[in-house]
Amino acid sequence: MSLPATVSVLGSTGSIGGSTLDILEQARRGGAEFRVVALTGGSNVDLLLEQARRWRPEVVVLADETGLARLRAGLAGSGVEAAAGPGAVAEAAGRPSEWVMGAIVGSAGLAPAFAAARRGATLALANKESVVCAGPALMAAAKRSGGAIIPVDSEHSALFQVLAPEQKGRVARLILTASGGPFRTASLDVMRQATPEQAVAHPNWTMGVKNSVDSATMMNKGLEMIEAAYLFDTPESRIDIVVHPQSIVHSLVEYRDGSTLAQLGPPDMRTPIACALAWPDRLAWNAPRLDLPALGALTFEAPDLDRFPALALARSALRSGGRAPNVLNAANEVAVAAFLQRRIGFLDIAALVEEVLQATDGGQNLATTAGDEVIAEALQVDAEARRVAADVLTRIGQAA
């Protein structure tokens, strides 16, 4: 098996980043030879230092500049370069490596994703916000450079695996599955009183806090619908969502002849990571096996749009196009942060996003050039949406 000779992990201290390093560890034990070029983290200095000592990359970078002194002190004499700040994260993404895991959470992952895509790397993309905020431009940048984008979200990885490029014109529907999250059967009254601790307690998946809240509101599925539209060049009208509580069928592709192909597997993010690392080969690792008789049954149901309005908001943003998906994403990040800080209630998340969408002009499409202007424009739209969201939060606080 031939794996990339050089790899970088952006967001190595997060859930996806940690799973990526676990897969790399197993690959190395299996005899694979590769060199780690860069590791980047958010603010967890201790974990990043531990990873740096284990992997000996060229450079380690903290997004939070306040931890740089500790990082440098911890790496003194190691020969590993230390840096900090958003610009340094993007610079690390631009360093020569064949394969890059893009696992930075939120809009902070946008510039690093472009840095990797522009230089022709294979970008294993777990940062959905990069696609939601500037998907067409990011795809164009990768195409121009001769690089590739392999999605790592379990749903998009599933579509990637079963959607043969030569069959694209014969696809009737893309069907994304959703677990339904911790509140799948909860009443609106229960959801209204939900705490952050309850919202992040996902029944199937181990994820970061922000992604767990998005799963609880089902905004994650709305964002994934926008992602699928851009990644697979498919209109909103041909993308459906179905709730599948067992999280075994990760997505399906329905073809015009009535055939529906699905990718199945236990809910473990290391599976799509391994797929992205070895594609088009298959990496042997200590993967959990699918025991269908033990499962007994797989069930599916339609999503409840009354209890999970985020789905309709995302579909409307995708249908509107322009900058609306970017606004949706930014407003949601602000709302989720406010909920985690107990400033708003769980049901207020979607309500705040809706108000920001109504108050913000979607405008024309973002540019699809590979220049820095597309990043600047996307970040400008993001900043304006966050400003409007902050105003809405202030009004909510005054009314409370």
Examine residue 269 and state whether it is found in any structural domain, yes or no. Answer: no
Return per-residue pLDDT of the chain as tens, 400 residues: 689 999 999 999 999 999 999 999 999 999 999 999 999 999 999 999 999 999 999 999 999 999 999 999 999 999 999 999 999 999 999 999 999 999 998 888 999 999 999 999 999 999 888 899 889 999 999 999 999 999 999 999 999 999 988 888 999 999 999 999 999 999 999 999 999 999 998 887 667 788 899 999 999 999 999 999 999 999 999 999 999 999 999 999 999 999 999 999 999 999 999 999 999 999 999 999 999 999 999 999 999 999 999 999 999 999 998 899 999 999 999 999 999 999 999 999 999 999 999 998 655 555 555 456 888 888 899 999 999 999 999 888 766 5
Whole-angstrom CA distances from 261 to 52, 55, 159, 257, 258 are 41, 39, 9, 12, 10
Q: Which of 126, 151, 176 is the last residue of a domain?
A: 151
Q: Which residue range(s) make up the domain with 325?
A: 321-400
- Please report the DSSP string for 340-377 in residue order: HTTSS-TTHHHHHHHHHHHHS---SPPP--SSHHHHHH
- Convert 108-134 to b/e letters by CB count within 10 Å (16 or more is b): bbbbbbbbbbbbbbbbbbbbbbbbbbb
How many domains does one find in the chain?
A: 3
Examine residue 299 and state whether it is found in any structural domain, yes or no. Answer: yes
| pLDDT at residue 69, rounded to an integer | 97
Examine residue 172 and state whether it is found in any structural domain, yes or no. Answer: yes
Please list the residues that pair with 255 across neighbouring strands: 171
Check whether residue 223 and residue 355 sit in a common domain. no
Check whether residue 51 and residue 123 sit in a common domain. yes
Check whether residue 66 and residue 29 sit in a common domain. yes
Please list the residues that pair with 82 across neighbouring strands: 60
Identify residue 383 by its one-letter amino acid code.
A
Check whether residue 294 and residue 351 sit in a common domain. no
Check whether residue 85 and residue 157 sit in a common domain. no
Q: What is the CATH number of the domain that holds 49?
A: 3.40.50.720
Q: Count CA atoms within 13 Å of residue 251 on its CB side.
A: 26
Check whether residue 20 and residue 90 sit in a common domain. yes
Please list the residues that pair with 174 across neighbouring strands: 239, 253
Check whether residue 164 and residue 221 sit in a common domain. yes
Examine residue 73 and state whether it is found in any structural domain, yes or no. Answer: yes
Extended strands (E) in 76-227: 81-84, 99-102, 122-125, 148-151, 171-178
Examine residue 232 and state whether it is found in any structural domain, yes or no. Answer: yes
Check whether residue 52 and residue 90 sit in a common domain. yes
Check whether residue 244 and residue 307 sit in a common domain. yes
Check whether residue 359 and residue 381 sit in a common domain. yes
pLDDT digits (tens, 9 = 90+) for 37-65: 999 999 999 999 999 999 999 999 999 99
Check whether residue 346 and residue 394 sit in a common domain. yes
Examine residue 196 and state whether it is found in any structural domain, yes or no. Answer: yes
Check whether residue 60 and residue 192 sit in a common domain. no
Is the Cα torsion angle 378, 383, 388, 394 positive or negative in sign? positive
Q: What is the CATH number of the domain that holds 398?
A: 1.10.1740.10
Label residue 146 left, alpha or beta by phi (over 0 means left) and psi (-120 to 50 means alpha).
left
Q: Which of 102, 135, 151 is the last residue of a domain?
A: 151
